[in-house]
Structure 1
Amino acid sequence: MEVRNDWTTAEIEEIYNRPILDLVYEAATVHRKYHEAREVQVCTLLSIKTGGCPEDCAYCPQAARYNTDVDHQSLLEVDEVLTKASIAKSNGATRFCMGAAWRHVKNNKQFDRVLQMVQGVNSLGMEVCCTLGMLTEEQAQRLKEAGLYAYNHNLDTSEENYENIITTREYQDRLDTIDNVRNTGISVCSGGIIGLGETDQDRIAMLHTLANMPKHPESVPVNALVRVPGTPLEDQKRITLWEMLRMIATARIIMPLSQVRLSAGREEMSIEEQAFCFMAGASSIFAGEKLLTTPNPDVDQDRQMFQLLGLQPRAAFKGQENEMEAGKFV
């Protein structure tokens, strides 16, 4: 199967709607062609600046306008972040992602501090990822020069459904930031969230946008909505395993080289459900007690799961000259 960037919506819809066992089987076949089937990338995500965000993302407990249990926290100090990164590495993580609840990056002392964090985590031999909101190509270049490996900027949903979820920015703003990241040579991490009240057509449209980028995102997170009290989406139904499988398997088939990341919502999934997702082509997880501010399985639970399923952590920078040790996760 060739890597394509010219998928039609109809083609993706046909894949997405295949009988579930046939879909998972094909995705598993594609996964084994392009990846080591037992390898799973272990990432840790840390909130380095929490709450107080001016955006109105309907799913997010960090939006200042919603009454949630998230407390505002100013930007962490560099030493504290590096300590947490070292702990994550000792627990087997090979990618460390830092998230700040900003609308966009500003050229100020706080950004300078983030650049120091990037330099420090890079010196630990980990893949460094950031998610800081919108940024310019010049800011992306500064992050790259500091040692940034990847930048996360999710599409969240389809362009058609976007205004139902976020009104404080445009869909094109998302695409522009991804272009700015890509133009500097930084690895792109971009996916979305299911369970926002979107239709299957919205999910297919989002996958169509991702799969038809000039180069597929190197990492595609598939998030299930974590329903947080106080947000507009707190009463949404929980996403089923079958919905998650359709997203993961379809993403694996149409973007065969990407790391498809089983992300938010994993805390509510059993080991059996997660195993099915790995079979369908998921090749990456976030490890650690929290994903920014929402619950996540702890390290011991994931270690037990890896041992039970015979999984092993994917080395940092795999495929590059500076390939690193995979850590001590198992």
Structure 2
Amino acid sequence: MDKPVFITSRKHATHLRHDWTRDEAQALYDLPFMDVVFRAQGVHRANFDPNHVETASLLSIKTGGCPEDCGYCSQSAHYQTDVKATKLMDREAVVATAQRAKEAGASRFCMAAAWRNPKDKDLDRVCDMVSAVKELGMETCATLGMLTRDQAARLREAGLDFYNHNVDTSPEFYGHIITTRTMQDRINTLAQAREAGLKVCCGGIVGMGEAVEDRLGMLVLLANLPAHPESVPVNLWNEVKG
């Protein structure tokens, strides 16, 4: 097996790859931890200010009652949880929360709604929220479920910067955690967001019973997308009662 190619400078960073293999991902995983940290620091310093940290704040603008059956989520209507479904928040309340987040140091504000996909009448209200938060001088992000091409374009026109839509896990493990939406559905939404000119926030979750191979599979999937996500959240699932 050929040795993996590592990005260690801005020169190399201009040749980002989209053809990573599972074997290469496994080779990285098998490296001593501090070697991985060292290599990651090299990539970071080659592409970003090493002493700059961006902070973001997220608000659930519509909580609970989601028709999806994601096994990790207490907002799913398929399970008996302690989460009470709420209606979509008012624009004024969202903007007030964003203002407080900005005053606390956040530069990006994400608005999340527990939907399979937004209805057009609800999207009108979300677009108003996005425009208002943008006027505060903050980057805007939203996670609203699946999008059509037109919906993605409307969000972009409203001033949305980032769209969050995670792949959650590897293609092989995906069916163990959700059955109401396919992995291809997720890939399609990412493509719609890209086509509209939105930046993409896309990652997954670890700790759901997946194997190491599934974690690597998720990373390979992300690395081989036509365009790499600008942000890759890796969430640790913390199981709690209710």
Category of TM-score, reference length = shorter chain: over 0.9
1:223-238 correspondence runs (5 A): 223-230=235-242
In structure 2, the residue matched to 1:67 is: 80
In structure 1, the residue matched to 2:171 is: 159
SS of 2:54 mapped into structure 1: strand
**Structure 1: distance between partners of 2:179 and 2:240:** 19
1:219-298 correspondence runs (5 A): 219-230=231-242
In structure 2, the residue matched to 1:93 is: 106
**Which of 41, 45, 54 is the aligned partner of 1:41?**
54
**Which of 8, 18, 37 is the aligned partner of 1:24?**
37
Question: How much does 1:32 deviate?
Answer: 1.3
| 1:123 paired to 2:135 | yes
Residue type of the alignment partner of 2:217:
A
1:162-241 correspondence runs (5 A): 162-230=174-242
**Structure 2: distance between partners of 1:51 and 1:22:** 42
Structure 1 contact 59–228 (Cα < 8 Å) conserved: no
SS of 1:151 mapped into structure 2: strand
Question: How much does 1:226 deviate?
Answer: 2.1
**Structure 2: distance between partners of 1:55 and 1:208:** 25
In structure 1, the residue matched to 2:3 is: none
Residue type of the alignment partner of 2:188:
D
Q: Could you give the per-residue CA deviations for residues 147-180 of structure 1, whole angstroms, max 9, x where no partner exists?
A: 0000000000001100000011111000000000
In structure 1, the residue matched to 2:4 is: none
Residue type of the alignment partner of 1:80:
A
Structure 1 contact 61–228 (Cα < 8 Å) conserved: no
Residue type of the alignment partner of 2:72:
Y
**Structure 2: distance between partners of 1:73 and 1:106:** 16
Q: CA RMSD in A?
A: 0.9
**Which of 138, 145, 165 is the aligned partner of 2:150?**
138
**Structure 2: distance between partners of 1:126 and 1:17:** 40
Segments of structure 1 that go 5 or more residues without pairing to the other structure are 231-330
Q: Could you give the per-residue CA deviations for residues 8-37 of structure 1, whole angstroms, max 9, x where no partner exists?
A: 221111112211111111111221111111
What percent identity do the matched residue pairs reach? 53
Deviates more, 1:204-213 or 1:21-30: 21-30
Structure 1 contact 121–128 (Cα < 8 Å) conserved: yes
SS of 1:96 mapped into structure 2: strand
* Higher RCO structure (Cα 8 Å, ≥6 apart): 1
**Structure 1: distance between partners of 2:195 and 2:19:** 20
**Structure 2: distance between partners of 1:214 and 1:12:** 18
**Structure 2: distance between partners of 1:29 and 1:203:** 23
Structure 1 contact 68–228 (Cα < 8 Å) conserved: no
Residue type of the alignment partner of 1:188:
V
In structure 2, the residue matched to 1:233 is: none
**Structure 2: distance between partners of 1:159 and 1:106:** 28
Provide the aligned length of Structure 1 versus Structure 2.
Answer: 229
Residue type of the alignment partner of 1:16:
Y
In structure 2, the residue matched to 1:6 is: 19
Question: How much does 1:228 deviate?
Answer: 2.8
